[in-house]
Chains A and B, each alone.
Chain A
Amino acid sequence: MSKRKNNRAWFLVLPTLIIVAFSAIIPLMTVVNYSVQDILGPNTRVFVGFEWFREVLRDAELHGAFLRQVLFSLAILLIQIPFGVGVGLLMPRRGWSASLCLVIIALPLLIPWNVVGTIWQIFCRTDIGLGGAFLDGMGVDYNYAIDPVDAWLTVLVMDVWHWTPLVALLCYAGLRAIPDAYYQAAQIDGASPWAVFRHIQLPKLKNVLIIAVLLRFMDSFMVYTEPFVLTGGGPGNSTTFLSQFLARMAVGQFDLGPAAAFSLIYFLFVLLFCYIFYTVVMRPDDAPGS
């Protein structure tokens, strides 16, 4: 009797399964298919085994892009997480100023990604952009269109501007969920603001921060639109990150086989990182809820 009921329950999951199949599983299998074949014509395909994988992994240009990408993601995490926590802590907890603050902080998140790129492209121009002109006026030799370091830093600052609010909002929600009694107890115990942060706020923010790190890592590791609009990956290859490299390979040069192989490596890397991060951080004795 109860078995029949369980079987029926599968029907409820079916719509989701179908959607996931079309949106994720089938495209993914297509990519797997491409990655082991050479497509010579519409109907001529040759099985090449792991040839594409070997080729992609030996590609020096890809090594460069990978290094840039890891550095970029690392920098993003190191800046945005502490910065976001700080902003979250400073936001007022109640009253009209809290609502105002929320709206202002959420603004960058509401702007379409390509528009973000355009805004910064103009903002940083030394001739007509406010930021660029300001730096120029200060005597800083700055031009993101020519100098690779300037370009890389500009992309970094842009991403910090764009995504730190997400971390801040997550932290803000996490902080709001801490009962007042904890702050009262800390006051009574004579705890310094640092002790309050270290022993109450940070432990209670842990789960929120795990989510924030995962989101920011995955997003930054796959960053595409903003640098593409801002610098187009240049000057040289200085702001060409992995996804842009991939797009160039697949769409620009139409190397579908290597691009597919690379996509899979890319995908597995992100998956692996998230898995390792999650298992290391979530030790069994402090699973959420305990």
Chain B
Amino acid sequence: MADIILADISHSYVAQPDPSEYVLRRVDVHFGDGEAHALLGPSGCGKTTMLNLISGLIHPTSGQIRYGAKDVTRLPTRRRNIAQVFQFPVLYDTMTVFDNLAFPLRNRGRPDSEVKKRVGEIADLLELDSELTRRAANLTPDLKQIISLGRGLVRDDVAAILLDEPLTVIDPQRKWQIRRTLRQVHEQFRHTSIYVTHDQTEALTFADRVWVMNEGKIVQEGSPDELFRRPEHTFVGYFIGTPGMNILPCQLVDGAAMVAGQSIPLSDEVWQQARRDQGSFEIGIRPEFVELVAGGDSTDHGQPGELSVTITAVEDHGRFSIASAELGEHQIKAKLTDRVPPAPGQNARIRFAGGELHLYRDQRIVCADEPSGDHRPAATPAGGN
């Protein structure tokens, strides 16, 4: 077990690359020892390249990869002591489940007694005891993925476990059980684990630390909560959460952000930070934190910080509804838990929950108000009628 460090890594699949031909651009990552990490990003963001660099299937164009203090940049896969679970189950079809689990140990010349003991332990943990004598070829996909994981776990010398979208072929109804097994295994063994996926639920459920990638770069590293509450990049705001963050271009005027001619006051701290530099500014607010002001359909201007909008569409999801509204030429979405949602076409006033509005300059966060201690969005718990 070790830290895994990617220092100033750039990679291109072309021999003499143009700047535009890099799939990874000067990436610095430190995967802490024994932690559960996820690499999250849309297809083509470079996350698979990163995984292959860590496992040693490809070698970086420039930069260094270290496992702890050891430089492994040029080492081949077989000398890196990693385990990997692939997108599609990879088993040795002609072998039994037992032989599959024993394979990595036998290849390393371990004595039979040790092999038997180790495989027994892992089979116990993964609840595979009754399957050990079956042939691997005829098992269900979820069982196959568990066995793939077990093949990594039998070795006591693995530096890291890599998981490459391991739930792709699993039935939606069975997914949570595999997620649970993966999480339990991590908590028990504390291997350095790296989970690569394009699905936010996969990443946030498995990992303590999530690295969000876009266009060959890490745009933010943080805990699931940090990614939700304080996206440091507009891409993170857009990519995490359903629906994603509302991001609206704005001008800065006298301590406030102007959107479509209406002003939203900024905290003094943010304003001082923002006025120092030029750039294109945007505000970001999650739909969960957009509130409808009661009685907002009247024509008066209301309190400062309240914005007049026109509701264009409402999706009633039963427990909550998602209202789309027009703010000037911009669209803004609000996730509302009111029992009676507004009607489309109605004029309304909205405001943003305290501390949840963020200002971005050239897509990077300027500085946000301190998040309040309460983690819950301003939603009333589903109470009695």
Which residues of A pack against B, CB within 8 Å?
179, 181-182, 184-185, 187-192, 195, 199-200, 203, 285-286, 290
Taken together as a complex, chains A and B put the C-alpha atoms of A182 and B137 apart, in Å, by 14
Q: Tell me whether B57 is interfacial, beta carbon within 8 Å.
A: yes
Q: Tell me whether B193 is interfacial, beta carbon within 8 Å.
A: no
Which one of A181, A182, A189, A203 lies within 8 Å of B103 (CB-CB)? A189
Taken together as a complex, chains A and B put the C-alpha atoms of A285 and B134 apart, in Å, by 12
**A-chain residues with CB within 8 Å of residue B103 when the two chains form the complex:** 189, 191, 195, 199
Q: Are B137 and A188 in contact (CB under 8 A)?
A: no
Nearest residue (CB) in B for A185 is B90
**B-chain residues with CB within 8 Å of residue A188 when the two chains form the complex:** 55, 77-78, 82-84, 104, 152
Q: Are B86 and A190 in contact (CB under 8 A)?
A: no
Whether A189 contacts B107 in the complex (CB less than 8 A), given A182-B90, A184-B55, comes out as yes
Q: Are A184 and B86 in contact (CB under 8 A)?
A: yes
Q: Are B107 and A199 in contact (CB under 8 A)?
A: no
Q: Are B78 and A190 in contact (CB under 8 A)?
A: yes
Q: Are A199 and B55 in contact (CB under 8 A)?
A: no
The 6 A-B residue pairs with the shortest CB-CB distance, nearest first, are A190-B107, A187-B77, A189-B104, A181-B86, A185-B90, A199-B92
Interface residue total, chain B, C-beta cutoff 8 A: 26
Shortest Cβ gap from B350 to chain A (Å): 49
Interface positions of B from 77 to 104, Cβ below 8 Å from A: 77-78, 82-84, 86-88, 90, 92-95, 103-104
Nearest residue (CB) in B for A191 is B107
Q: Are A185 and B86 in contact (CB under 8 A)?
A: yes
Q: Are B95 and A199 in contact (CB under 8 A)?
A: yes
Interface centre among A181, A190, A199, A203 (most CB of B within 10 A): A190
Shortest Cβ gap from B366 to chain A (Å): 43
Which residues of B pack against A, CB within 8 Å?
55, 57, 76-78, 82-84, 86-88, 90, 92-95, 103-104, 107-108, 135, 137-138, 148, 151-152
Taken together as a complex, chains A and B put the C-alpha atoms of A286 and B86 apart, in Å, by 23
Q: Are A181 and B87 in contact (CB under 8 A)?
A: yes
Taken together as a complex, chains A and B put the C-alpha atoms of A181 and B90 apart, in Å, by 7
Taken together as a complex, chains A and B put the C-alpha atoms of A200 and B136 apart, in Å, by 13
Interface centre among B84, B88, B135 (most CB of A within 10 A): B84
Taken together as a complex, chains A and B put the C-alpha atoms of A185 and B107 apart, in Å, by 13
**B-chain residues with CB within 8 Å of residue A181 when the two chains form the complex:** 86-88, 90
**B-chain residues with CB within 8 Å of residue A195 when the two chains form the complex:** 103, 107
A–B pairs, 30, beta carbons within 8 Å: A179-B88, A179-B90, A181-B86, A181-B87, A181-B88, A181-B90, A182-B90, A184-B57, A184-B77, A184-B84, A184-B86, A185-B84, A187-B57, A188-B55, A188-B77, A188-B78, A188-B82, A188-B83, A188-B84, A188-B152, A189-B104, A189-B107, A190-B78, A190-B104, A191-B107, A192-B107, A203-B93, A285-B138, A286-B137, A290-B137
Taken together as a complex, chains A and B put the C-alpha atoms of A190 and B107 apart, in Å, by 6
Taken together as a complex, chains A and B put the C-alpha atoms of A15 and B84 apart, in Å, by 53
**B-chain residues with CB within 8 Å of residue A290 when the two chains form the complex:** 137-138
Taken together as a complex, chains A and B put the C-alpha atoms of A119 and B55 apart, in Å, by 52
**A-chain residues with CB within 8 Å of residue B148 when the two chains form the complex:** 185
Given contacts A185-B148, A191-B107, A195-B103, 9 further A-B contacts (CB under 8 A): A181-B90, A184-B57, A185-B86, A187-B76, A187-B77, A189-B103, A191-B103, A199-B94, A200-B92
A-B contact count (CB 8 A): 56
Nearest residue (CB) in B for A206 is B94
Taken together as a complex, chains A and B put the C-alpha atoms of A191 and B102 apart, in Å, by 12
Shortest Cβ gap from A258 to chain B (Å): 48
**A-chain residues with CB within 8 Å of residue B108 when the two chains form the complex:** 190
**B-chain residues with CB within 8 Å of residue A286 when the two chains form the complex:** 137
Nearest residue (CB) in A for B91 is A185
**B-chain residues with CB within 8 Å of residue A187 when the two chains form the complex:** 57, 76-78
**B-chain residues with CB within 8 Å of residue A285 when the two chains form the complex:** 135, 138
**B-chain residues with CB within 8 Å of residue A203 when the two chains form the complex:** 92-94
Shortest Cβ gap from A47 to chain B (Å): 55
Taken together as a complex, chains A and B put the C-alpha atoms of A203 and B135 apart, in Å, by 13
Shortest Cβ gap from A218 to chain B (Å): 27
**A-chain residues with CB within 8 Å of residue B78 when the two chains form the complex:** 187-188, 190
Interface centre among A179, A181, A185, A290 (most CB of B within 10 A): A185
Nearest residue (CB) in B for A204 is B93
Taken together as a complex, chains A and B put the C-alpha atoms of A191 and B103 apart, in Å, by 8
**B-chain residues with CB within 8 Å of residue A192 when the two chains form the complex:** 107
Interface centre among B78, B95, B137, B148 (most CB of A within 10 A): B78
Taken together as a complex, chains A and B put the C-alpha atoms of A108 and B138 apart, in Å, by 41
**B-chain residues with CB within 8 Å of residue A179 when the two chains form the complex:** 88, 90
Taken together as a complex, chains A and B put the C-alpha atoms of A179 and B169 apart, in Å, by 16
Shortest Cβ gap from A186 to chain B (Å): 9
Nearest residue (CB) in A for B78 is A187
Taken together as a complex, chains A and B put the C-alpha atoms of A182 and B90 apart, in Å, by 6
**A-chain residues with CB within 8 Å of residue B151 when the two chains form the complex:** 185, 189
Taken together as a complex, chains A and B put the C-alpha atoms of A272 and B57 apart, in Å, by 48
Taken together as a complex, chains A and B put the C-alpha atoms of A238 and B107 apart, in Å, by 50
Shortest Cβ gap from A75 to chain B (Å): 28
**A-chain residues with CB within 8 Å of residue B94 when the two chains form the complex:** 199, 203
**A-chain residues with CB within 8 Å of residue B107 when the two chains form the complex:** 189-192, 195
Shortest Cβ gap from A26 to chain B (Å): 44
Taken together as a complex, chains A and B put the C-alpha atoms of A195 and B103 apart, in Å, by 10
Interface centre among A184, A191, A290 (most CB of B within 10 A): A184
**B-chain residues with CB within 8 Å of residue A184 when the two chains form the complex:** 55, 57, 77, 84, 86, 90
Shortest Cβ gap from A192 to chain B (Å): 7
Shortest Cβ gap from A166 to chain B (Å): 26
**B-chain residues with CB within 8 Å of residue A185 when the two chains form the complex:** 84, 86, 90, 148, 151
Shortest Cβ gap from A187 to chain B (Å): 4
Taken together as a complex, chains A and B put the C-alpha atoms of A73 and B264 apart, in Å, by 88
Taken together as a complex, chains A and B put the C-alpha atoms of A179 and B88 apart, in Å, by 10
Shortest Cβ gap from A93 to chain B (Å): 14
Taken together as a complex, chains A and B put the C-alpha atoms of A200 and B137 apart, in Å, by 12
**A-chain residues with CB within 8 Å of residue B137 when the two chains form the complex:** 286, 290
Shortest Cβ gap from A260 to chain B (Å): 46
